[in-house]
Amino acid sequence: MNLSLKHYEAKAREILAKMTPEEKAGLCSGSDFWHTKDVERLGVRRVMVTDGPHGLRKQAGESDHLGINESVPATCFPTAATTACSFDADLLREVGEALGEECLQEGVAVVLGPGANIKRSPLCGRNFEYFSEDPYLAGVMAASLVAGVQSKGVGTSLKHYAVNNQEARRMVIDAIVDERALREIYLAGFEMAVKQAQPWTLMCSYNRINGEYGSQNRKTLTEILRDEWGFEGAVMTDWGAIVDRVKGLEAGLDLEMPYAGPANDAAIIAAFREGSLSGEVLDRATLRILCLLLAAADTAKPGYRYDAAAHHRLARKAAAESAVLLKNEGAMLPLIPGGKIAVTGAFAETPRYQGAGSSRITPIKLDNLCDVLAGRGINFAYAPGYDLESDAPDAILLDEAAAAAKNADLALVCVGLPDAYESEGFDRDHLRIPESHVALLERVAAVNPNTVALLFCGSAVEMPWAGKAKAILLLYLGGEAGAEAAADLLYGDVNPSGKLAETFPLKLEDNPSYANFPGGDKTVEYRESMYVGYRYYDKAGADVLFPFGHGLSYTSFAYRDLSLSESGGIVTASVKVKNTGGKAGAESAQFYVSRKSPSVFSPVRELKGFKKLYLEPGEEKTAVITLDRRAFAWYSVEKKDWVVDAGEYSVAAAVSSRDIRCEAAITLEGEKKRKAAEPAEYLKPGIPFVVSKESFEELYGRTLPPASRLPGEPLTANSTLAEFGKTQTGAEVLAGMKQQMTGSGGDGTFDRMFDRMFGEMPLRALGMFSQGALGPEQIQNLLAAANAEKKE
């Protein structure tokens, strides 16, 4: 069951005809932090929405959008950064179905996810919540998760639409991106999910997109989303993303969340009464929300109970199938039972299994590696090796770990990124893991050559220490059953089959966005254009640590007989894959498309399909995919449409973007190629990738706006709290806010989140966080006082 909201349109229209303008305006905003409004006299009931891209974060008591206050226990599945590495759409659907079941039990109508944003930079603090640097992979995974959730009669909210690729100044930054990159990279995953799965809702992003805020961007919300893609659902804001409520309504925004006081509802009514807002626009938004509420009421199942044990098993399966074996020198893994091992690293006892911020789940059952190994009867000695609260190496802890490793046949070292390193609300400053983790690995490896590194993180890290470990198993953030999955993999109960959904660069400076991330005070320029991730590294011929799509196995696979056929504009590609090793395993055959003589600057190859095959030793199967015209197309800014050049194309079957096993050519009909003059930096990207302002401006097609605030510029409602806080008025307000928020809970990660995230919020956001206690009039008064100080 994946109900279309259109199914409820006739009934919704009947209700709409009976509603007053005030009721219509009221329905266009929430009633509190997590609920919509109702229309009691007409039998329209409010519904609950809640966070949860990888698990349900339903708050039964105090509400927040930062993961501070308690939420009801729920299954914590692996994060999107993890499950994307499964390259298994069926697995994502299965996880989505489980999420839908948990929503049914908890009376949740819409789960706020998944996130389909592109990993432009590995520094983005929220990358753990996103799937990939590749839009095709992100789109397939997002569509599958959406379909799974909605098959249970529960809605999703595809987010954060669009071009939200950093946490720094996320509520005010203007993402300046050229049209080709916008269409081919940053919108393509959303497009796939919308067209294939029709999420009930879509969540707009905080940021500006080429000058206009996502919450009132008519181009993205109406012209592209609805007119081009055929989106049928309702568009809601991210929490506090409203800038101008009436302008947002006219642009295609339907539902404002959360409730931020009566001011915006009153603004809608005032605009309607004076004629500046048409009744048609108001009716359109109200109708979409009514369809959503009717669908939720129709599919609700009071008294429903899900199988928590089954969901935990699924979380374990998802974590195991998503882990990536990066290195396995001398077939170090799988481990042979027997002998004594040393387990080092505090993550073995206190696991890093999910991200921080609004997606933080309270797990039903949380495993740790020490308990799991003990339950298996493994003979091991444990030493924490580092202090979770400090980056500095601890000599005593290191000595204890070295002693344990020296007396063991093999040493496991658990390292990675602590919560304080990556979270919603702030970006990372570098790609290093803590010094204390590196020191532990080096110390252990010095006394025990049989060292295996277990890596826990939500995004790519630098690994100058990689040579110290004979094997590296990347577990990302594996959810509540991640430790059980790790043991399954270590001892060969499960054969690793994960493939990297993002490139791991040798160093941060190699990343194509490095010179332009996170941008200035006002704008961030996407000068690398479509050269994101492997699209850049492969085009420039840059060395990487581990390429996109990389992942080892305990067995081996051979590819042969790649064939292509074309019929009715659809190309069918098939390749035979054989398990040539001695263990059963799974292989994700990746299909990349290349243009032989492109008429515009283009990557060397782009992922356009994949198929995961499960093979017994000696077994051979055929991986088959279909490629439509879009798989061979590029977006023409001039034509405002997708174009397929006439000529020869190559389709490759590969085990990574750098490891091509078979390749075949096909000639397609299309438009005659016409070479256009393009900036030289994009024809042959350099190492490092530096694009001049003039070249990017030429590609962008218009004058670039100022990157930073001008001297003497007055404060506005869109000025950040940090700017506001430089005045005495602002300093007093912020001090009170921090005291109030700190009093509600939190830890060191929260303190950093507050300092970075709140400081970069616009002044208008105070309306949301005060639940309307600070309305537009009070905020304008604060601004007047602050600006008066600046003039003195």
Active-site amino acid positions = 238
Q: Please say whether the beta carbons of 137 and 608 come within 8 A.
A: no
Q: What does residue 663 show for φ and ψ, rounded to 5 degrees?
A: -145, 140
Tokens, residue 521? 């005070």
Q: Is the dihedral of CA 420, 422, 428, 430 positive or negative?
A: positive
Where on the phi/psi map is residue 435: left (φ > 0), alpha (ψ -120 to 50), or beta?
alpha
Where on the phi/psi map is residue 743: left (φ > 0), alpha (ψ -120 to 50), or beta?
alpha
Closest CA to 664 of 588, 590, 573: 573
Q: Which residues pair with 648 in a beta bridge?
A: 667
Pairing relationship of beta strands 641-643 and 201-204 according to DSSP bridges = unpaired
- C-alpha separations of 168 from 173, 177, 429, 519, 757 in Å: 8, 17, 11, 9, 7
- What is the H or E stretch that residue 637 is in? none
Give the gyration radius of the chain's Cα atoms. Answer: 26
- What is the H or E stretch that residue 269 is in? helix 263-274
For the CA atoms of 765, 766, 771, 773, what is the dihedral angle to 10 degrees? -140
Q: What does residue 789 show for φ and ψ, rounded to 5 degrees?
A: -60, -40
Q: Is the dihedral of CA 576, 582, 587, 590 positive or negative?
A: negative
Q: Please say whether the beta carbons of 542 and 687 come within 8 A.
A: yes
Tokens, residue 67? 């993961």
Any idea how long the chain is?
A: 792
